[in-house]
């Protein structure tokens, strides 16, 4: 181990950057910046340009931020590769659409109801499939996702099949209607930020560490007294709940849903967001969703070559950053950083510590 190599991380405290730009302070600054963009810059741009296209992209991005953050919870943190996530998104969307068009329930009821119904389906799916490991679980979720898609498509009496459901009322809270572009965006953004915050609190806790333990090695976690089976089911149910919420937002903002919004390729798109952003890292999931939604739109000018460029960019980003854009920090790296910080000043300015 080389201990005498000067390294920016090992600088004496006097030379270290100010506290606001390291550790907790830097995280706080980034959060503030993101919130400022979400609630300052984007609404200003929507109002300034009055473009419904821009608003639509912003809303779609926010919905996919929820989806990729929730998939990251089950696939990144708990390590269960799920490739049927779009089906639960679909269940949420159909639940909200049917409850509001057939029963006339208000948004304040349909939003949680969509989440709960999706979570109930998630629970029913999780019960028999949690014994499966690795790729077997992934394929089971694929199969169940496709089954749900086939049912949505073919049960015409209930879901209107390929015609989809029209005329879903917009978001409405106690008489306040989100009928302008700006208010629709703001309503979705507030809910998305709330969802991400809840997922953040769940994963950055001892509970989240238990999930990471079963991702790294479920047999080992089991032998240390972690209730593996129960945690896996819980994480899957939480993820499907948020997918259902995202579905309800889609139904209420686009007023029209059809089964094709919830196909296998959509699940793969969500998975791609999580992997491109960094599996297991919540900021990564958010950035991945931004990247995968905004990139195809930004490339609209090259027309037909757009999807080729998207595929190529996805390939390059995975090739060059296989752990993702904002990769989850490793446990070893954390320990090394902590020790280095503690040891940096010991020998009177001489850099000491691990490289």
**Where do contacts with another protein occur on this chain (CB under 8 A)?**
75, 79, 81, 128-129, 131-133, 135-136, 139-140, 142-144, 146-147, 150-151, 153-154, 215, 217, 219, 264, 268, 271-272, 275-276, 278-280, 304-305, 307-308, 310-312, 314-315, 318-319, 322-324, 327-328, 330
Instruction: Considering the complex, state which of residue 35 and residue 133 has its C-beta at the smaller distance from another protein.
Output: 133
Instruction: Considering the complex, state which of residue 189 and residue 213 has its C-beta at the smaller distance from another protein.
Output: 213
> For residues 246 and 220, what is the distance between their CA atoms, to the nearest angstrom?
34
Contact 171, 253 (CB under 8 A): yes
Residue 176 Cβ vs another protein, minimum distance, rounded to whole Å: 41
Asked whether the CA dihedral 264, 202, 39, 313 is positive or negative, the reply is negative
Q: Which helix (H) or strand (E) holds 172?
A: strand 172-173
Residue 83 Cβ vs another protein, minimum distance, rounded to whole Å: 9
Residue 208 Cβ vs another protein, minimum distance, rounded to whole Å: 16
Residue 126 Cβ vs another protein, minimum distance, rounded to whole Å: 12
Residue 91 Cβ vs another protein, minimum distance, rounded to whole Å: 16
Residue 242 Cβ vs another protein, minimum distance, rounded to whole Å: 20
Instruction: Considering the complex, state which of residue 240 and residue 253 has its C-beta at the smaller distance from another protein.
Output: 240
What string of H, E and C letters represents the secondary structure of 13-41? CCCCCCHHHCCHHHHHHHHHHHHHHHHHH
Instruction: Considering the complex, state which of residue 182 and residue 299 has its C-beta at the smaller distance from another protein.
Output: 299
Q: Which helix (H) or strand (E) holds 251?
A: helix 228-254
- List, in order, residues 6 or more apart from 58 with CB less than 8 Å away: 42, 46, 185, 189
Instruction: Considering the complex, state which of residue 79 and residue 169 has its C-beta at the smaller distance from another protein.
Output: 79
Instruction: Considering the complex, state which of residue 42 and residue 271 has its C-beta at the smaller distance from another protein.
Output: 271
Contact 132, 251 (CB under 8 A): no
> For residues 231 and 226, what is the distance between their CA atoms, to the nearest angstrom?
8
Contact 278, 317 (CB under 8 A): no
């Amino acid at each position: 181990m080389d201990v005498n190599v000067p390294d920016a991380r090992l600088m004496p405290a006097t030379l270290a950057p100010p506290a606001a730009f390291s550790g907790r302070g830097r995280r706080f600054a980034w959060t503030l910046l993101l919130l400022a963009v979400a609630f300052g810059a984007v609404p200003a741009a929507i109002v300034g340009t009055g473009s419904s296209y821009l608003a639509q992209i912003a809303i779609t991005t926010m919905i996919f931020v929820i989806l990729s953050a929730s998939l990251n919870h089950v696939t990144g943190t708990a390590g269960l590769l799920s490739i049927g996530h779009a089906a639960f998104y679909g269940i949420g969307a159909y639940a909200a659409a049917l409850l509001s068009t057939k029963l006339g329930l208000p948004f304040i009821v349909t939003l949680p109801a969509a989440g709960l119904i999706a979570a109930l389906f998630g629970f029913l799916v999780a019960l028999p499939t949690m014994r499966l490991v690795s790729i077997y679980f992934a394929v089971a979720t694929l199969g169940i996702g496709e089954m749900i898609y086939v049912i949505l498509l073919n049960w015409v009496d209930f879901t209107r099949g390929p015609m989809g459901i029209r005329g879903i009322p917009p978001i409405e809270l106690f008489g306040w209607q989100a009928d302008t572009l700006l208010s629709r965006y703001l309503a979705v953004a507030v809910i998305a930020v709330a969802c991400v915050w809840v997922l953040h609190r769940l994963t950055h806790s001892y509970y989240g560490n238990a999930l990471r333990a079963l991702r790294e090695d479920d047999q080992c976690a089991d032998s240390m007294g972690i209730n593996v089976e129960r945690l896996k089911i819980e994480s899957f149910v939480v993820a499907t709940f948020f997918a259902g919420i995202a579905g309800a937002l889609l139904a209420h903002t686009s007023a029209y849903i059809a089964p094709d919004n919830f196909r296998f390729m959509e699940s793969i798109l969500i998975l791609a967001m999580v992997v491109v952003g960094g599996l297991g890292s919540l900021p990564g999931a958010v950035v991945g969703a931004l990247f995968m939604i905004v990139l195809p739109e930004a490339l609209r000018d090259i027309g037909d070559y757009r999807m080729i460029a998207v595929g190529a960019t996805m390939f390059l980003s995975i090739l060059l950053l296989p752990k993702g854009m904002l990769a989850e920090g490793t446990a070893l790296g954390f320990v090394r950083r902590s020790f280095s910080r503690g040891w940096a000043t010991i020998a009177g300015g001489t850099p000491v510590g691990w490289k």
